[in-house]
Structure 1
Amino acid sequence: MRTVLLSGFEPFGGDAVNSSWEAVRHVAGTWDTDAEGAGLATVRLPVTFGGAWPVLAAAVDEHVPDVVVAVGLAGATDAVRLERVAVNVADARIPDNDGAQPVDEPLVADGPAAYFSGLPVKAALAALREARIPAVVSNTAGTYVCNATFYALRHGLADRGVTAGFVHVPRTVEEDHHDAGALPVATLAEALRIVARTALAVAGGTLAEPVMAAGAEH
C-alpha cells in the first residue's frame, strides 16, 4: 500500500487558524484508502525556520511516504498555487513564531541555488481546472517559512525517490477574515486530494505529465 503525507502549518501572524492545516485536516477526515489506493498521513508544522523541516522530516521517516505534499497559506490569493521552484534563501518580512527574522540568509550554505518541485505541476493543474478549482502554477514560493520548508523537503529527499513538492492555498471562507479570494475549506481539501491523486498516478506510470502551451498556466 502506497502512502501520501500531507503537511500543513499552525497559525501565524495573529491569525486564529491556518487554512493549510484546515484543508489537510479536512482531507484526513474524508480520505478513503480503498478508493484512493493509498494510505494517508498528516502532520502539522510550526511556522518557524528552525522547526518546520525537522518535524516534517520526522514524519517522513515515520511514514515512509511515496508522495509528500507540503501545504502553506498564501493570503490575498484567489487560487490554489502549485509551486514550481524553491530557492536557497530566507528573507523574512515578519518574524516567525519563534521570533526569528532572517534577512538574505542561505538556507543551506553549500546547497543548490534552487530546486524544482517533484510534483507533476502541469498534470495537477490540468486536473484541478477540469474540476473547476481555481489554480495556477507559481514560480515563487516566497522567501518565508513556506519556501524554506519546500527547499528543505527537496534537499532532504533528493536521493530517496519520493515525489515531493509544495502547494499554497488561499484562506477559507469559513474564517472570520475579509479576503475576497477565499475558498471553501472543502474546495481546498478537494484540491489537495487531486494533487495527491495526480502525483500518485504519475509516479506509478499510469499518467503522463502533459506539455501545455506557453501561457496556458496563467
Structure 2
Amino acid sequence: MKKVLITGFDPFGKDQVNPALEAIKQINEKTFEHVKIVTEEIPTVFHESLKVAIKSIEVHQPDVVICIGQAGGRTQITPERVAINLDDARIPDNQQNQPIDEVIIPDGPVAYWSTLPIKRIVHNMKEAGIPSAVSNSAGTFVCNHLFYGVMNYLAKNAPTVRGGFIHIPFIPEQTIHNQAPSLSLDMIVKALEIAAITAANEGEDIREVGGTIC
C-alpha cells in the first residue's frame, strides 16, 4: 500500500481558520484501495515549518508528500509547478518573522519542479467537477518556503519520493465580510483525496494544455 503524507498550515494573518488545516483533519488516516493518507499540521513560520515537515517525512516514510496551503482570492484548486529559492514576505509569519529578498537554501538551486503529476491531478479534479488549474507561482511566503525546502530535502535524501504543493481557495465562512471567491470544505477534501490517489498510483504525467499567457 502506498502512503501519502499531506501537510496543512495553521491559520495566519487575520484569519481565524485555515482551510488547509480543516481539510487535513478530515482525511487523516483515510485509506483507499492501495493508498493510505496521513497528515501533519504545519506552523505558518519560516524555517520551523520545514523542520516539522521533515520530521514528519522521517517518521512516516511516505511514498508521496503533498503540502497544502491557503491562497485567498483564487477560484480554483491549484497544484503548483515550481518552487523558487526565495523568501520575500509581504506580511509577517506567525512568529513575526518577515524575511525580505532572502534565499531559503544558500547553496540550493534557483528552483525545484514539483514531481507530482500536476496536469493529471488537474484533469482528474475537473473530471470530478472540481475547479482546478496548474499554477506557475507558489508566491514567496511560507507556502513557497515549505515547498522549496521539502523538494530540496527529498532531492538529497529521498529522490524516489514524489513531492509538491497545492494551493486551495478560502472556504465560505472566510468570505462573509468580503467578496472573495471560495469553495466548500467538502469539495476541497474531495480534491485532496483525488490528488493523493492520483500521485500515488499514476506513474507519469499527461501532456495537455495547462499554461497561461501572462
TM-score higher than 0.5: yes
1:199 has 2:199 as partner? yes
Q: CA deviation at 1:210?
A: 1.2
Task: Call closer, same or farther: CA 1:6–1:173 in 2, change over 3 Å.
Answer: same
Aligned match of 2:19 = 19
1:108 has 2:101 as partner? no
Query: Which ranges in structure 2 are unaligned for 5 or more consecutive residues?
Result: none
Q: Using the alignment, how far apart are the partners of 1:18 and 1:116 within structure 2?
A: 25
* Correspondence for 2:86 among 81, 89, 94: 89
TM-score, reference length from structure 1: 0.91
Q: Using the alignment, how far apart are the partners of 2:211 and 2:145 within structure 1?
A: 28
Cα pair 1:119 1:199 within 8 Å, conserved? yes
1:79 has 2:76 as partner? yes
Cα pair 1:121 1:137 within 8 Å, conserved? yes
SS class of match (1:17):
coil
Q: CA deviation at 1:127?
A: 0.4
1:44 has 2:31 as partner? no
SS class of match (2:21):
helix
Q: Using the alignment, how far apart are the partners of 1:52 and 1:95 within structure 2?
A: 14
**Which one-letter code corresponds to 1:28 in the other structure?**
N
Q: Using the alignment, how far apart are the partners of 1:25 and 1:199 within structure 2?
A: 20
Q: Using the alignment, how far apart are the partners of 1:59 and 1:213 within structure 2?
A: 34
Q: CA deviation at 1:216?
A: 8.4
**RMSD (Å), alpha carbons:** 1.8
Alignment of 1:60-209 (within 5 A): 60-159=57-156, 160=158, 161-175=160-174, 177=176, 178-202=178-202, 205=203, 208-209=204-205
Q: Using the alignment, how far apart are the partners of 1:172 and 1:66 within structure 2?
A: 29
Task: Call closer, same or farther: CA 1:54–1:40 in 2, change over 3 Å.
Answer: same
Q: Using the alignment, how far apart are the partners of 2:210 and 2:195 within structure 1?
A: 21
Query: Which ranges in structure 1 are unaligned for 5 or more consecutive residues?
Result: none
Q: CA deviation at 1:28?
A: 2.5
**How many percent identity over aligned positions?**
40
TM-score, reference length from structure 2: 0.93
Q: Using the alignment, how far apart are the partners of 2:139 and 2:179 within structure 1?
A: 20
Q: CA deviation at 1:175?
A: 3.8
